[in-house]
Amino acid sequence: MLAKMTAVFIGSFLMGIGINVFILPFHLLDGGMIGIGLLLKYVWGFKVGMTIILLSIPIYFLVWKFDRSSFINSIHGMLISSFVIDLLLPLKGFIHLPVMESAITGGLLIGTGIGIMLRYETSTGGTDLLALFISKRSSLNVGVIIFIIDAAVILSGLYFMGKGMFFYSLITILSVAFATSTLTLIHSISIFLNPKP
């Protein structure tokens, strides 16, 4: 339990740094619930973390009713990461990099944070949890559902932010995916090579 909570805090701080230092200054987007939180921040000035919590409430009601283990494994990750994202807002623009480097660095930090949490079977929940819930009750692949949700978020961003930031947001999403996939793949290989007795 201590290792899991440590992973949640480390992952949350990496995500908070990635979002506030590198993503927010250029109005870039990520996918999923983080992307929705960022979009609402840019359009109406809402706090990213608080938005994630509020929009996640109906998802967690559903998951609590039908899949208690997923609820338990992700609720603390969602709450802590959302709190830390808002806590680290004063770091916005603390480091000044060109937009391309910021898109990549921010994405890698966010993806590493998510990947660390996934290695300890916890997550930030959000739309990924919703996708998992829908997938279990339909014939749709969870990856397809996540892609559809992420695409909707990014296309919404294209409408509000224009083509320039749309391109760099795609770079951010690819960087997030790369870091998350790399960490989870390394973890899977280590489990395969060192199985528990």
Distances from the Cα of 50 to the Cα of 13, 40, 46, angstroms: 16, 11, 8
Confidence (pLDDT) at 157: 83
Q: What is the pLDDT of residues 102-135, one digit of tens each?
A: 999 999 999 999 889 888 878 788 887 888 778 7
Question: Would you put residue 121 in left (φ > 0), alpha (ψ -120 to 50) or beta?
Answer: left
Residue 2: other Cβ atoms inside 10 A = 6
Contacts of 107 (CB under 8 A, 6+ apart): 18, 30, 171, 172, 173, 174, 175, 176, 178, 179
Instruction: Report helix, strand or coil for 77.
Output: helix
Extract the residue ranges of the chain whose pLDDT is less than 70: 143, 187, 192, 195-197
The secondary structure of residue 18, as a DSSP letter, is I
Mean of the per-residue pLDDT values of the chain: 88
Q: What is the pLDDT of residues 177-194, one digit of tens each?
A: 889 888 888 867 777 677
Question: Would you put residue 128 in left (φ > 0), alpha (ψ -120 to 50) or beta?
Answer: alpha
Taking the model in full, what pTM does it have? Answer: 0.90
User: Cβ(32)–Cβ(128) under 8 Å?
Assistant: yes
Confidence (pLDDT) at 197: 59
DSSP one-letter string for 141-177: -HHHHHHHHHHHHHHHHHHHH-HHHHHHHHHHHHHHH
Name the nearest CA neighbour of 5 among 88, 87, 80, 111. Answer: 80
CA distance 188 to 44: 41
Instruction: Please give the structure tokens belonging to residue 103.
Output: 């898109």
Q: Which domain holds residue 37?
A: 2-193
Confidence (pLDDT) at 56: 92
> Looking at the 3D structure of the chain, how many domains does it have?
1
